[in-house]
Structure formats: C-alpha cells, structure tokens
Structure 1
C-alpha cells in the first residue's frame, strides 16, 4: 500500500493550469502603436463634441449596431424639419450611426441619432428609443446582451432550477458520481464550479459598483485582460480560466470514468455550474451572494478533501483509493 498526498498532485496540475492561463492571456495580448504628432489635439469644436459624447455615451458616429427589436421606425427628416415621413428597419438589420444631434428643447429626450441601413433606408430616432432596440455589432457584445436580458435570466433561472431538481434527484437515486456529493478523486470539477460561482459574483458586483465601466466594456469589448481596468481584467481572466479548466476537467473525467458514467457526471457538473451562475449572479445583486459564496467555498473544499480526495493507491493494481481496505478494482486488501 502506497500513501501519497493528493495535495501535491493537485498542486502540480494547478501550477500547469495557471501557466497555461498566463500563456493564453499573453498570446491574446496586443498593442497597436500609433504616432504621436504635435497637432494630435488640434481638433475642431465638432470633433471635440464627438469625443465628449463618446466618453459619456460610449458610442459615436460610424458605430455599428444590429437591430434586435421586431421593427424600428425612423423619421426621414431631422427632428426640427417637416414632414415626418418614416422608414422602417427590422430585426437583424445592420445599421450605422450616421449623425448625432442634440435638441435641448425636446422634453422627452434631447439626443437624436441618425442611423442608416443603406443609402436609401436611413432616418432619425431618439436615443432612448434606439438603445433598447439595438445591440453592438460585435460577437462578444451580443453574447453579453444575451445573458444580460432580464426576462431571459428569469426564464433561465426557472429552467435551471426545474432541470437541476429532477436531474440531481435522478443522479442521487442511481448513486451516480456527482460533484460535491458523490465526487470522483479529481479536484478540477470542484475548482471549475468554484470559478463559475466566482465569475457570477464578479459579474454582479460590476453591475452594482461599476455600471458605467461595464457599459463601456459592452460597447468596446476585449478579451485581453491587460487592456482593461483591473476589475474587468480580473473578470476576463476568470472567464479564460473557466474555459481552460473546462477542457482539463473533461480530459480528466474521461480518464477516470467509463463513457456512460463520464457523460452522466459531466451533465451533472454542467447542471451544478448553471445553478451556481444563476444563484450567485442574482443573490449578489442583493448583497446576499457574498456570504453565500464564502459558505459555498468552505462547503465545496470540505466535501472534496473529506470525502473525495484519494490519499492512497492500491499496492497491486495502482488505482487510487479513498481509504485503506479492500480495493474495489482488484479485490486486494490494503492495510
């Protein structure tokens, strides 16, 4: 019977994983140098207004959007002109900001935006009507928009709770391996679940305390954590870590379990991660998520190191064992 520490083995894997995360982030880093000219700030008043508008509204002229509303009516003429003929753009149309006008006399919204689908289909619309009906023409922004929709989040929460209730109940009845409860001797699934919960807490915290920085990130997203403010850089780094840990988890689970048990375990892990995302992203908005996350970390680590961390190997077949005694694989009694 050989006795070994699971901590050392897992520390090596965590070290390799951390190295891989840093390597990927370095590969994703880029810097676009530009020439600093003496007349770089010799701008016209209109250009200065455009820069000021972009700073506060996070988009400017020539910015690209995709229409996500069913239809969007545009006025063919400027808001201070007559007649008010209209054109319509529909869901999926790509539009560009052609011009921006400020009308202080407008009591509803002083900012009017001219958007154009093509040379013929273009017109003016109030900003407060436009923004809820469009999304940036960027895949990262569209992904954020999909997971930021309140109605979708509520539906996702309900669906996840229902599916998790029935799925986890079925797994418990079959005594199937599942993270936190009937786990395997790998720390990757536990670490993945913890990182998903951490990402949800960070995401909700940014919504609470850095809404404007998140809004700017939404309009100008980047996967390079070094090009972002520290809190956003940490969040993006966590997302990168989740992606890499997911690959490592699937690989490790496939080596440890039979194909059928592997599929069941990974489905259960995905369900647990989905529950973590929904619970912590919503509870953190009401400040409950912070103590809940601390309790969850303690619970997850306690369950793993108390019930799942393999401290021994069989002296005959070399398989990992949780405790001394009869090997469930070859029947050898290890003392």
Structure 2
C-alpha cells in the first residue's frame, strides 16, 4: 500500500513539471529599454524590495499606526491625524514614495485598509508589523519568530526528556536508539536535519533569494530557482517519507506502541530542526550534521537492522541464536 501511495505522490510531482514559465522574447527585451524613468524605478523597487503597489499584507502585531498626512508633513513634524489598524486586518499597498530627506527611512508606503481608510508609514515600521497575505508566508513568519523558537525549544526538550525516559524504562522502540526494522524513520530524521541545515544556509548565503520566496511563496519546485527547488524537493520528500514511516510502523508495532513511537519520532525531528537550523547560522551545524549522519547510520546498521528470520516462527531477528518470540534456536 505504501509503495502505491509513494508512486502516486511521485507521479503528481513529476507531472507538475509540465508547467513552463514563458521567458522574455527579444521584442520584450527591447520594449523594456523604452520604459520611462518612473517605470524603471518601479521595476527596480520590485526587484530589491520584492513587493509593489496593490500587494496585500496582514497585520501580525497588535496594531500598526498609519499617519494621514503626507510624508513631507510628517518628516517636518507637522501635526497630523492617525488611524490604527488592528491585528489580523488586511491592508494593501496604495502608493510608494522615496523620501531622500528622511534620515530614518527613505521609503514611505501608503496603505489602504478599505476605500475610505488610507495612511502612511515608513517601510521599516511596516515590515516589522505585517506579513504577506499568503498562508506559506505566515507559516514562515511564525516559525522564524525568536520568541516562538525559544518556547518551542523549551517545550520540546521537556516533553522529549519525559517521553524518552518513559520509553527507555519500558524498553520501547525509539528511532536512533532502539529502532524498528526499517530505515525510513532514520532516513526521515536525516532528511529533516539536512533540510534545516540547507534552509539556514539559504538565509546565510542567499538572503535575497529567500526574501523573494517569503514574499512570493510556492510549493512547486519547478517554478523557482535551483536553490529553492532543492529545498522544496526535500520538503516533499519528507512528506512522502512520513507516509512510508506510518505504514511501516503500523505493520511492525501494536497500535499503542505505534502511537508512542510516532510521537517520539515527531519530537526528535522537531529537535533536529531546531538544533540544525540554529547552529548552522553560526556555522556549527555543518560539522554537527556530518557527525549526526555517522552516528545515525552506524546505529541503525549495528543495532536496529534485523537481517535474519527465525526458521520456526518467521520473526525478524537481529542476531543468530535464540528467537525472542518463540525461543527456537537459529544457527
């Protein structure tokens, strides 16, 4: 059953590659050279700031203050009215102005909550208070928040410490420690670790590419740059692996043991993501990832793999000798 599901998912991903993005023709290239200065500035702004007029945001902070006066009036400290847009409300970019006279931030953005509610704010203030109106962007923003990461680290460590203690006490199956006879769970932890390392590497060495993906996200690995394509393929590979893991665990363990095993697997994957995504930002993640791969592969090969079958009951066994299930001797 798992093989059928994996093949179906793979086929869907491969077929989605039929999409072809049109490239600019020679005529189009010539036309761009005839743009006005204002149009060229607008294109340059989109390229460097990744959003433009009519782009939609959602307020993620408690509120954002928009000033009704013109930017020149605000910079000159003239009195002006203001409006407050609350958390969760949608706002759209109505106009963008470059104010070289503003030493704080030269980019001013006019935002509209509705056709009657307009106001200005600096770009720095705006980007700290909003998130693009896209569920993928909101997911990225949530898991990039420092406070949420710290809370997730604390909760994961406490929960996993309690769960692992209980599982070790009962000699239960745990990935990377006392695993079942399948490589899928180990491969999942290795994939999560490598993906987290690659994710942080993109932020380190290709920040502009990641910023553009944040404003214009997609789950199609065929419609992005090669770097992002590799990352998205790893995400889809994790989804496929998780389906295979659930199917294998269901076959090898009783229901209650399977639930505990999957919970511990999710916890370990969460810790791997947190550890490698953070340590890679300080370049420690690379040697740590190599060490983790060596440990995980050796552990599975030496302790978790069951290459033998009992000649009496057909149970998978890790070593020749007495079968733990029926007691028969296998020589």
Q: Normalization by structure 1: what TM-score?
A: 0.90
Matched with 2:119 is 123
RMSD across aligned positions (CA): 2.1
- Per-residue CA deviation, residues 274-306 of structure 1 (Å, 9 max, x unaligned), is 111111111111111111110100100001010
1:315 aligns with 2:311: yes
- Per-residue CA deviation, residues 226-261 of structure 1 (Å, 9 max, x unaligned), is 222222111111111111101110111011000011
Distance 1:216 1:84 in 2: 34
Q: Please, which runs of 5 or more residues in structure 2 have no aligned partner?
A: none
Which of 3, 11, 28 matches 1:23? Answer: 11
Which of 235, 239, 242 matches 1:243? Answer: 239
1:74 aligns with 2:63: no
Matched with 2:41 is 49
Task: Note if contact 2:317-2:323 (Cα within 8 Å) is conserved in structure 1.
Answer: yes
Matched with 1:105 is 101
Following superposition, the deviation at residue 158 of structure 1 comes to 1.7
Which of 152, 169, 188 matches 1:173? Answer: 169
Pair 1:185–1:291, CA change in 2 (3 A): same
Distance 1:195 1:333 in 2: 38
Distance 1:250 1:236 in 2: 22
Distance 2:15 2:133 in 1: 24
Pair 1:28–1:223, CA change in 2 (3 A): farther
Matched with 2:264 is 268
Matched with 1:224 is 220
1:95 aligns with 2:91: yes
Q: Counterpart of 1:117 in 2: which secondary structure?
A: strand
Q: Which moved more, 1:79-88 or 1:199-208?
A: 79-88
Distance 1:65 1:228 in 2: 22
Following superposition, the deviation at residue 168 of structure 1 comes to 1.1
The aligned runs of 1:257-296 (5 Å cut-off) are 257-296=253-292
Matched with 1:157 is 153
Distance 2:283 2:79 in 1: 51
- Per-residue CA deviation, residues 34-54 of structure 1 (Å, 9 max, x unaligned), is 885946424333222111101
Following superposition, the deviation at residue 79 of structure 1 comes to 1.1
Distance 2:8 2:289 in 1: 26
Which of 53, 56, 59 matches 1:61? Answer: 53
Following superposition, the deviation at residue 94 of structure 1 comes to 0.8
Q: Which moved more, 1:252-261 or 1:41-50?
A: 41-50
Following superposition, the deviation at residue 33 of structure 1 comes to 4.2
Pair 1:251–1:310, CA change in 2 (3 A): same
Matched with 1:7 is none
Matched residues, number: 322
Q: Please, which runs of 5 or more residues in structure 1 have no aligned partner?
A: 1-12
Which of 112, 128, 134 matches 1:138? Answer: 134
Q: Normalization by structure 2: what TM-score?
A: 0.91
Task: Note if contact 2:21-2:223 (Cα within 8 Å) is conserved in structure 1.
Answer: no
Following superposition, the deviation at residue 162 of structure 1 comes to 1.6
Higher RCO (C-alpha 8 Å, min separation 6): 1
Task: Note if contact 1:308-1:322 (Cα within 8 Å) is conserved in structure 2.
Answer: yes
Distance 1:210 1:37 in 2: 29
Q: Counterpart of 1:87 in 2: which secondary structure?
A: strand
Following superposition, the deviation at residue 324 of structure 1 comes to 1.6
